[in-house]
Structure 1
Amino acid sequence: MIVLMIYVAIFVLAYIAYHFIVGKSVSNLGFNARKTVTFGDESAVTPNRSASVISIISIFVIWGAFTGSQISPIHVPGPFIGDTSFLYTATNAQNQTSDAKVFIRVSRVGEDAGIPETSDESQNGFARDDALKVAAWRSGLIRVQKNDEGGKEEGYRVTAINGHPIAPLQSVGVEDGVVNMTAKGSLSFVPYKGWQMEPIWLPAPEAIVTRLFEIIQDGYQGVALSENIGWSLFRVIVGFALGSLVGIPLGYAMGLNNWFRGWFDPIVEFMRPIPPLALIPLVIIWFGIWEQGKISLLFLAALWIMTISARAGVSGVNISKVHAAYSLGASKLQILLHVIIPNSLPEIFTGARVAMGVCWGTVVAAELVAAEKGAGKMIIAASKFQQTDIVIMGIILIGIIGFGIDILMRMAEKVLVPWKGKG
């Protein structure tokens, strides 16, 4: 919630700053400046590149701030690291009281820090100073009764922390953390965690980059990164191609023939809302867990989308163009080749972009179930060993590749369908 509020605040401040500082100087430039009406005109709304850059920078700044990144200029309060102590008061079986200190050393996760030394001062009571080492974001159990004289006798108990009374299942805040008492009377120290995320939950950006170069060089579990990504792309391309080869002709048939429309419409409309991931158990039963099953799942993921897009493309052809072609003596085949197909291609390319995105997300999920190679297999294998940096690295790569695929399809659409949006 805090991260979301910060991000929203950055968005609002950046929008206000751009509107009042830069917006006025560029508002009179470009084609939109010559339009009398822009609000509600979709053609007047284009991506603001400044907003895109600020958005990406904001995400990385927030990410770095909440992970203690070395490349981030700002940081939110992090966990307590260093030495601290607190005073406890114990009462023995004879109802006598004595004070002693617990010295605590908090180190970063993975660091081999030694146990702090106890006080050299002479202690006259039965309570004895104790020491503990604990990692940041963790807690440490302190059994002071094992160190105190008479601590194992019945009636011994800890009654106060830094002068504040404490009882089983209660807590007392100290300078650098919280002291909890268990149901059996033992003490537990939890150091101050701050606002930063523990690396096991969210590593810093530089840790992701370092891990990426390591896997590019050495691979992961004996498989190169390029091989994992290549297998995922291969499955997506084959499944999408098969789905298009069947779905586009089927969509044309449904858009041009009443019998085909009536026969296949219930099937298409029934299968369309079913998520591809829901079909994984059935596909495994029918085709197994190897390549045939994965490609069959991707085929089904693309089939219905391409069918609907081709059908919608036929339905969206301007009837006046069909009438004009007939008046010029065109045959049905000529109308199909020169009127229907060219005018339906924009809709088909839109469906193809959606289908590729669905296939790319589906293949990763399919590889989570059973695969020897693939981006999804790498992610699920890393999650089993709590290698969060590899998991996040894989997710980022999947997003970048998916975005790249969409850009390539947009470029192909501009080249192959230059008449889109021109009537």
Structure 2
Amino acid sequence: MKIKDNRIITITTIGIIILIWALITSLHLVESLIVPSPKTVLSAFLEILRKGYKRQSLLFHLGSSLYRLLAAFVFATIFAVPLGLWAGFSKKARAVFEPIVDFVKPLPPLAYYTLLVLWLGIGNESKIALLFVACFTPIFIASAAGVTRLPERFLNCAYSLGASHGQAFRKVVFPAALPAILVGMRTALGVGYTTLISSEMVAATSGIGWMVLDASRIMRSDVIFVGIFLMGFTGVLMDMGLRKLEKKLVPWNGKE
């Protein structure tokens, strides 16, 4: 019953926001060039869906953005999770990787994007490399933290029962760190999406970020709103997917 009530609240909130938006535009409280009406934005979306934008379909632009993001996210997860777990499990490994991560962590991704463009060009390679770095840090930190927060008595109990280091890692350390890893992955996905849009605004010829930037040059605020809604909607869908994965993999999380 609570879940149903929460959904009703969410839908009502969205409806109120759209109603206020429609009311503001219908009363001409702001210029339509600055804030287009919901009807205008919907018309722009249907037009782009039907005719595409700048000779490319909407699915092409959306697919280009998602390909860059998901490719970098998958590679970052493959490398960051084992390295983070190793750093959390071993003080020597932590001494090797932690200073590097601490150095990269505060750097704005676009600060070194120019270098990546010079090295790899303006194609997908430089963008995927940029997103890889952006996604790697939160996943690595979360993976290491998931291990270091594990109570030592858990490991001592496993060893006292005859478990080897490998068995203790597989049966105790990894399951205990998995909730933190999944939180790090959700954080990385959000950071990666933000970085992706910024990178497409700097050097790209396709993608949702590029579409928004190009529309701003010709003062098409309706297209800008379409791009913003697409970014938010796809971001919400991906986060929902990770939440469902979290519930499936760690159903005990938050119930202790």
Q: Deviations over 1:396-417 (max 9, x none)?
A: 1100100110001000111122
Q: Secondary structure at the match of 1:386?
A: coil
Partner of 2:10: 52
Distance 2:243 2:204 in 1: 31
Distance 1:47 1:331 in 2: 48
RMSD in angstroms over aligned alpha carbons? Answer: 1.8
Q: Deviations over 1:178-202 (max 9, x none)?
A: xxxxxxxxxxxxxxxxxx2111111
Q: Deviations over 1:31-57 (max 9, x none)?
A: xxxxxxxxxxxxxxx984454334222
- Residue 317 in structure 1 maps to residue 150 in structure 2: yes
Partner of 1:400: 233
Higher RCO structure (Cα 8 Å, ≥6 apart): 2
Distance 1:390 1:354 in 2: 28
Where is the strand percentage greater, Structure 1 or Structure 2? 1
- Residue 65 in structure 1 maps to residue 23 in structure 2: yes
Q: 1:204 aligns with which of 33, 37, 43?
A: 37
The letter of the residue matching 1:302 is C
Partner of 1:12: none
Partner of 1:362: 195
- Residue 295 in structure 1 maps to residue 253 in structure 2: no
Distance 1:344 1:350 in 2: 10
Consecutive unaligned residues in structure 1, runs of 5 or more: 1-28, 31-45, 69-74, 79-195
Q: Deviations over 1:291-338 (max 9, x none)?
A: 110000000001111110100111122322211110110000001111
Superposition map of 1:18-417 within 5 A: 48-68=6-26, 75=27, 78=28, 196-417=29-250
Where is the helix percentage greater, Structure 1 or Structure 2? 2
Distance 1:377 1:252 in 2: 37
Q: Secondary structure at the match of 1:420?
A: coil
The letter of the residue matching 1:300 is V
The letter of the residue matching 2:182 is F
The letter of the residue matching 1:218 is K
Distance 2:127 2:95 in 1: 30
| Length, aligned pairs only | 255
Residues 266, 47 of structure 1: alpha-carbon distance in 2 compared, 3 angstrom cutoff: farther
Distance 1:408 1:240 in 2: 14
Distance 1:294 1:402 in 2: 18
The letter of the residue matching 2:155 is V
The letter of the residue matching 1:60 is I
Distance 2:249 2:77 in 1: 17
- Report sequence identity in percent: 36
